Structure 1
Amino acid sequence: MKDKIAVISLSKGILGESYCQFQKELAENRIQELGFSIYYPTHVLEGAEELAEHPEKRAEDLIECYKEKDVKWIFSVIGGEDGYKVIPYLYQQKEFFQNQKNNPKPFIGFSDSTTHHLFFYRLGIPTYYGMSILNDLAEEKENLLSYSKSQLVNVLQQQSLLKLSSSPYWYEERKDFSPQGIKQARVQHKECFGYEWLGKSSMQDFSGALWGGCIETLSRLIEKREEYPDLKDLLMIKEKEILLFLEPSEVKSKPTKMITMVKEILFEVQQQGVTICGILFGKPQDECFYEEYKKELQKEIYSLPILYNVNFGHAYPHSLLPYGAKATFHAKEKEIIIEQKIEE
């Protein structure tokens, strides 16, 4: 029997909607091509309205995935904006999840899934930031984006070293998500900038444990933690020295708003006594506000080394970043090396 990849909606529950059926079939085929079968927990296909009204069902699906012995990976369907509503239900089962450390099922997602990454990270369960079912596996009828596919295969094969370098191409977000639109290749552009160094000193090596996520989601967690006290624990960092990875979402926040949120996140980290060894900043989607974001970072965060235009987050293609793993940027090679601890 094949190992299974479970697909789960911890945020927006749209996979069961009729307009997603073409992408659902694409994802099923792509998962089979990767050597796995697909697993649908009980509620994942019940539709967007039902799952929006019942965050406890989303939590129940996650627990079900852990109980299903053949499930080896758990993949988020897509992001959203209310993933934090699941957290109180997950904390009611905190002991259950703590007991899963010896049977880890790595979680993959991004955007609003930042919330769930932090939950798993706090419990020591492996988790990879950067892809989702609808944004990656249910893409283009013929092939995954080659850069994204290479990154995903390396992770699924559990390679102990992951290497990231700048993709030679970037791709626009789709404007047409109909079946006919999805069949068309994304609009492709040659990458003109590559990794850009924004530190006040000359480009240099830096390293630390990976921690971070979507800027807008992290800002929302900081804002909502008084209303949802369990969120306070999510923002606690276990390591003393981190490589902070941050990326702007598809809402394309104005530059002044973006830098305000980034400064909030930096304050949250630094007041814990955690040292930020450097920042990996994801490529803005469609290169929107590309130069403006850069200028704000250089003006406001000038004391930290910043590697700008890294291929993760809402811009395409995607890479995968494992929370808590040691990552090192090698300036001479312009390459990021991530060292994973792989459980035998």
Structure 2
Amino acid sequence: MNVALHPPKPRPGDLVAVISPSSGLPGLFPLPYELGLSRLRNDFGLRVAEYPTTRTMGATPRQRAADVNAAFADPAVKAVVSSIGGEDQITVLPYLDRELIRACPKPFFGYSDCTNLLLFLRNLGIVAYHGGTVMAELGRPGALHPLTERSLRAALFTSGEYELSPSDDYRDVDRPWDDPRTFDGEPGTEPAEGWFWHQGDRTVEGPGWGGNLEVLSWLLMAGREVLPAEEYRGHVLFLETSEDMPSDREVYWILRSMGERGLLRQFPALLMGRAKSWSFEQPLGSPERAGYRERQRAAVLRALREYAPDAMAVFDVELGHTDPQQVIPVGGRIRVDGPARRISVTY
């Protein structure tokens, strides 16, 4: 796989597109969405263009794809940002205009179900950015977490190397988006334990590849956007799990299938996001949440022992469904320095 292109970055005053390629949740939960839009405008200094399905629940895959195509085709639009994730973006992929998007590369920000579009862009040779949705990060109650804001600003506006930092605190428990009281102040956080290093005795550098583990499993089953395993030799894998909270057995089974496909052994290093361990359906207490994260780590390590025993891994990295969140470039360089316990990315 050739080195990917870093699209030109927007500047304050430029126009950015906000799209909903997975779900029109802005129409159901306007409070975090409007807050995120206001921060894009007032704090980041950007102008915003919305599209027909941005706030529309139930839009067809073809309609959502039309918005994606239009956002990339518009020469006035300098970046594209997803409102939120969802669960059926895989059905949008067949309607995307590959040649149009290849000819009009732009920075795209999203994660979770946007793993579909992120890997689609990577396969077109375009660096894309895992993180930074309007509703979840920009729409955070009270204020953006400082670590989130620094990373998002760097990825959105600048180019070059950026060092990730382990956070002193994190948030796992959510509050309802349809309750105005949620937005009266910042959410509560708890102390973070830092990154957990496995076989951190070397330095690895390579293009980043990965995303949400559950969505990757769907792409693998559908045979979409995942290239032959050898194409990823020397890449740095990054993975994270969602608020659906897959069990440790499910996590192991997915990684086992990736191992059987020959994927895991291609990656000399893995960054594993801090596991989301609370949801409205599973409101675990603190000890139970810690146990969930420990079991997931054990499942990942088991898969690595069996399929990539020489790989280095770093756990509880601030990527994906966690707060704070740092942006990871898909196709951009990632450097994992085990002896120095440092991780840097190229935006």
Scaled to the shorter chain, the TM-score interval is 0.7 to 0.9
Residue by residue over 1:99-121, the C-alpha shift from the partner in whole angstroms, topping out at 9 and shown as x without a partner, is 22xxx211000001001101111
- Give the corresponding residue for 1:228: none
- Give the corresponding residue for 2:266: 275
Q: 1:261 aligns with which of 254, 260, 263?
A: 254
Residue by residue over 1:15-69, the C-alpha shift from the partner in whole angstroms, topping out at 9 and shown as x without a partner, is 123xx22223212210011010111023322x212x1xx1111011011112322
Aligned residues: CA RMSD: 2.0
- Three-state SS of the structure 2 residue aligned to 1:285 is coil
TM-score relative to the length of structure 1: 0.86
Q: Distance in 1 between matches of 2:188 and 2:174?
A: 8
The answer as to 2:87 corresponding to 1:94 is no
Aligned length: 317
Structure 2 counterpart of 1:283, one-letter code: R
- Give the corresponding residue for 2:301: 298
Q: Percent identity?
A: 25
Closer, same or farther in 2 for the Cα pair 1:135/1:67, shift >3 Å?
Answer: same
TM-score relative to the length of structure 2: 0.86
Q: Distance in 2 between matches of 1:97 and 1:139?
A: 30
Structure 2 counterpart of 1:300, one-letter code: A
Shift of 1:293: 1.3
Shift of 1:269: 5.1
Structure 2 counterpart of 1:40, one-letter code: E
- Give the corresponding residue for 2:65: 59
Contact 1:285–1:316 under 8 Å retained in 2: no
Residue by residue over 1:107-141, the C-alpha shift from the partner in whole angstroms, topping out at 9 and shown as x without a partner, is 00000100110111111222100221111111124
The answer as to 2:213 corresponding to 1:203 is no
Shift of 1:265: 2.6
Q: Distance in 2 between matches of 1:182 and 1:267?
A: 46
Q: Where do 1:239-258 residues align within 5 Å?
A: 239-258=232-251
Q: Distance in 2 between matches of 1:4 and 1:268?
A: 42
Residue by residue over 1:247-281, the C-alpha shift from the partner in whole angstroms, topping out at 9 and shown as x without a partner, is 1111111111111112223444539xx72111111
Residue by residue over 1:154-193, the C-alpha shift from the partner in whole angstroms, topping out at 9 and shown as x without a partner, is 112223011112111111231322221133321211112x
Gaps of at least 5 residues in structure 2 are: 1-11, 278-288
- Three-state SS of the structure 2 residue aligned to 1:26 is helix
Q: 2:335 aligns with which of 318, 328, 339?
A: 328
Closer, same or farther in 2 for the Cα pair 1:12/1:235, shift >3 Å?
Answer: farther
Contact 1:173–1:315 under 8 Å retained in 2: no
Contact 1:162–1:338 under 8 Å retained in 2: yes
Contact 2:78–2:107 under 8 Å retained in 1: yes
- Three-state SS of the structure 1 residue aligned to 2:27 is coil
Q: Distance in 1 between matches of 2:260 and 2:269?
A: 14
- Give the corresponding residue for 2:86: 80
Closer, same or farther in 2 for the Cα pair 1:106/1:266, shift >3 Å?
Answer: farther
Q: Distance in 2 between matches of 1:269 and 1:9?
A: 33
Shift of 1:207: 2.3
Q: Which moved more, 1:279-288 or 1:70-79?
A: 279-288
- Three-state SS of the structure 2 residue aligned to 1:88 is helix
Gaps of at least 5 residues in structure 1 are: 226-230
